[in-house]
Structure 1
Amino acid sequence: MRTTGRISLLVATAIFYVILASSFEYTVKGNIGTSKHDGKKAYLMLYDTNRLIDSATVINGSFIIKGQASQPAYARVDVDREYANLIISKGETEIDVINLHTPVSGDSLNIALKDYLTKVFTLNGIARDYRTYLKGQNLSADSLSKIKNEMFSHLQQVLLNYSKSVIYANMHNPVGHAALNMFGTNSTPENWMEIYGCLSPYLLSLNFTNMWNAKIKKSIAMSKGAMFADIKGKTVDGKDARLSDYVGKGKYVLVDFWASWCGPCREEATNTLKPLYEKYGTNPRFEILGIAMWDDPKRSIQAIRSEGYEWSHIIDAGMTPMDEYGFDGIPMIILFDPEGRIIAKDIRGADISLSVEQALK
């Protein structure tokens, strides 16, 4: 027994010294360029665990965070509502939390992250500018929706292809982690499963990878033909309510998972759901149901009333719908058949109207 204890102590000591030898010192510098945030905290967080690593106070428009780490990691610094992404790595890294939201200088990993994120932000800027341009055009709601969907689908595919190339080139470092996060949250289940089988042990070990893979599996399980999963919430009047109060009761039910703070949700409700309700609201074979999730119930009710959403609603559903149906963004619109099976999922714009029209033929 003593020998075993002695060996265990030696092993533990050896592990300690290996970790100590591999650890490194890092410095993160941020120059905000204004005293607006003086006195506020700059928080250094790990992306994969959402764990707070360290913090520093902003003084005279700048801050410095110093520490030790055992391995490079994808992280972010938050200052009030501003942020910057970076790699915690050996030596000094300077970040821009106001304009670029990326490293400005640092080691090769941080420069690679800067290059990747700059291109991603450029694509996002193109999408944003194009959305603004389209709003100024005299187009019908259906035409506007079709053009936007085609353009954004193209930009998303460009983003996925670029992110995939960065993942393959950085399978064993945090730049690959950053690209995998971006790829996963913008991919289809088919895209994800294709790349998942090629990931390195490092990327497979990430919490994000395991969480996202579980979500994708749930999304695949809850695809066309699957029976609905029940959701709990409240009515606008404060009474208990469930999805099963509406779905599987002999009607086609169009369910809109949304939130009051979600601009695209409210745009879809105004441009698509309102006209659908005006056209089919009295049809005994059809019903629209809004499920407000990830939202303050008071704000949900305020939006329902101010926007004139006259269809049925469940509010205060929390995050459960995302877990049950395997999605990560809203609006998420699903059409259920009279028995409660999914016949269309993640539909937008003209596809919503088309799906309903085909179902009610």
Structure 2
Amino acid sequence: MQTKNLLWITAALLLFTACGKKYTVTAECDASSNGKQAYIIDYTTEKPLDSTIVSDNKAIFEGETPEAKLCQFFVNSPSRESATFILESGNIVIDPETQMVSGTAQNDSLQSFNSTLRKTQEQFYTRYQALSKTTPDFKEKVEALQDEMMQSFGDVSARFIESMPGSCVATYALANWLPMLIGTENFDKAAAYITDNDLKYPMIKNSVKTNDRTKATQAGAMFTDFTIENGNLDGSAVSLSDYVGKGKYVLVDFWASWCGPCRAETPNLKEIYKQFGGDDFEIVSVAVWDKRDATLEAIKELALPWPQIIDAGQIPTDLYGINGIPQIMLFAPDGTIVARNLRGEEMKRLISLTLQK
């Protein structure tokens, strides 16, 4: 009798556990998505976990999951509706238009985290709009405001991570926080929260890798060479070492044709090139994350007179830990990195001081 009771209890527990793994995900969709395929993408594998057809402006998924997973809802339609959520047992509701997710404990916490960040961002934007652009110290005030905002974002992220250690919410907070800190001393503080499970997520693993490469290519380090097949304008191979480490200062501009801030630096680069270009100084543009034809068209449109390396893809950005462009770096005649993250007036001052010594 006792054995039968134990067997019954065990079976009941197994049934309860199985039921506890079931999920229903209901996503509100635009009418243009009706009849289109909708997916749940696992962020760890970046592959679909489930799919359904959108009908009556809804995508409804039903299934089981052995554990909570950070996922993306995505519709393959012209509207490209998507939202990040946590797939776990329970009834989950998603509104891609407002990026609202709810229905389970972790999704409610995820929504709270995103709402807190949005409110923080809105507060700082209001303060930014109140600044007078005519004041002499406008730039300094903006930079101070940006630093304060980054600190606030970090405080919010740390609070959620510490309150839900090991959760998908903590993973999501880390995944959004770490890229902001790459190349700064605060990265290691945030990285202390990373768990083995977090490293299953490419977005976190890539942030760690990028930060490591950024630290390895800071001022004082020797340049890291790379070769791009078909990287010359004539289609031949070209290496960074064809220019860097050849006895002159070289300003290397990692850019792309579609990048507005990259294009905005063109007048500054042209001014520097006109003043200093010659035997002691060169500029080299390296097109990354761009299509060859688009790069060639932009080079012609912008009338860039200095050497170009094109079609570089992500080879240079991986090597130098670049997670945003433009990234402009100055190399010494022997190939040592003098500075990175150069822009605008600061860049012009550094070049002037360096070359007029």
- TM-score computed with the length of structure 1 as normaliser: 0.82
From 315, 321, 346, the equivalent of 2:316 is 321
Give the Å deviation of 1:298. Answer: 0.6
Pairs within 5 Å for 1:23-42: 24-32=21-29, 34-42=30-38
Q: Distance in 1 between matches of 2:211 and 2:236?
A: 33
Q: Do structure 1's residue 112 and structure 2's residue 109 form an aligned pair?
A: yes
Q: Where do 1:1-361 residues align within 5 Å?
A: 21=18, 24-32=21-29, 34-79=30-75, 80=77, 81-98=80-97, 100-103=98-101, 105-122=102-119, 149-189=143-183, 190-203=185-198, 206-233=201-228, 234-270=231-267, 272-280=268-276, 282-361=277-356
Please report how far the alpha carbon of residue 74 of structure 1 lies from its aligned counterpart in structure 2 after TM superposition.
1.1
Listed one character per residue, the Cα deviations across residues 125-166 of structure 1 (whole Å, up to 9, x for unaligned) are 6778899999x96799xx886665444343333222322222
* 1:291–1:29 distance in 2 versus 1, CA, 3 Å: same
Q: Please state how far the C-alpha of 1:325 moved relative to its aligned partner.
A: 1.0
Structure 1 stretch 166-175 or stretch 230-239: which is displaced more? 230-239
**What's the offset of the Cα at 1:342?**
0.7
Q: Distance in 2 between matches of 1:38 and 1:354?
A: 56
Residues 182, 214 of structure 2: 8 Å contact kept: no
CA deviation after TM superposition for structure 1 residue 358, in Å: 2.4
Q: Which segment is superposed worse, 196-205 or 186-195?
A: 196-205
Q: Deviations over 1:88-127 (max 9, x none)?
A: 11111111212x2241x21121011112123334555677
Question: What SS does the aligned partner of 2:265 have?
Answer: helix
Query: Counterpart of 2:160 in 1: which secondary structure?
Result: helix
> Partners of 1:76 and 1:108 in 2: how far apart?
17
Question: What is the distance in 1 between the residues matched to 2:226 and 2:273?
Answer: 23
* CA displacement, residues 38-58 of structure 1 (integer Å, 9 cap, x when unaligned): 232222112232122122222
Assess if the C-alpha contact under 8 Å between 2:51 and 2:61 holds in 1.
yes
Unmatched segments (≥5 aa) in structure 2? 1-13
In structure 2, do the counterparts of structure 1 residues 311 and 50 end up closer, same or farther at CA, with 3 Å as the change threshold? Answer: same
| SS of corresponding position for 1:334 | strand
Contact 1:171 1:200 in 2 (8 A): no
**Structure 1 residues 42 and 324: alpha-carbon distance in aligned structure 2, compared to 1, 3 A threshold:** same
| Inter-partner Cα distance in structure 2 for 1:236 and 1:303 | 13
Question: How many angstroms apart in 2 are the aligned matches of 1:217 and 1:309?
Answer: 32
Amino acid at match of 2:54: V
- CA pair 131-260 structure 1, distance change in 2 beyond 3 A: farther
Alignment match, 2:8: none
Contact persistence 2:255–2:287 (CA under 8 A)? yes
Change (3 A) 1:54 1:241: same
How far apart are the structure 2 equivalents of 1:223 and 1:287?
20
**Structure 2 contact 90–104 (Cα < 8 Å) conserved:** yes
The structural deviation recorded for 1:180 is 0.5
CA distance in 1, matches of 2:327, 2:336: 16
1:82 to 1:156, Cα distance in 2 relative to 1, 3 A: farther
The residue type equivalent to 2:179 in the other structure is T
CA contact (8 A) 2:44 2:200 kept: no
Cα distance in structure 2, aligned partners of 1:246 and 1:145: 34
Contact persistence 2:128–2:145 (CA under 8 A)? no
The offset of 1:86, in angstroms, is 0.5
Matches of 2:108 and 2:253, distance apart in 1: 41
Q: Deviations over 1:201-232 (max 9, x none)?
A: 54355454444323322221111111111122
With normalisation by structure 2, the TM-score equals 0.83
Displacement, 1:347? 2.6
SS in 2 for 1:27: strand
SS in 2 for 1:59: coil
What percentage of aligned pairs have identical amino acids? 31
Residues 2-37 of structure 1 deviation map (CA, whole Å, 9 limit, x = unaligned): xxxxxxxxxxxxxxx89x7597111221112x3122
User: 2:285–2:306: 8 Å Cα contact kept in structure 1?
Assistant: yes
Change (3 A) 1:327 1:122: farther
CA-based RMSD: 3.0
Distance 1:240 1:254 in 2: 20
Aligned to 1:3: none
Kept in 1, the 8 Å contact 2:22–2:64? The answer is: yes
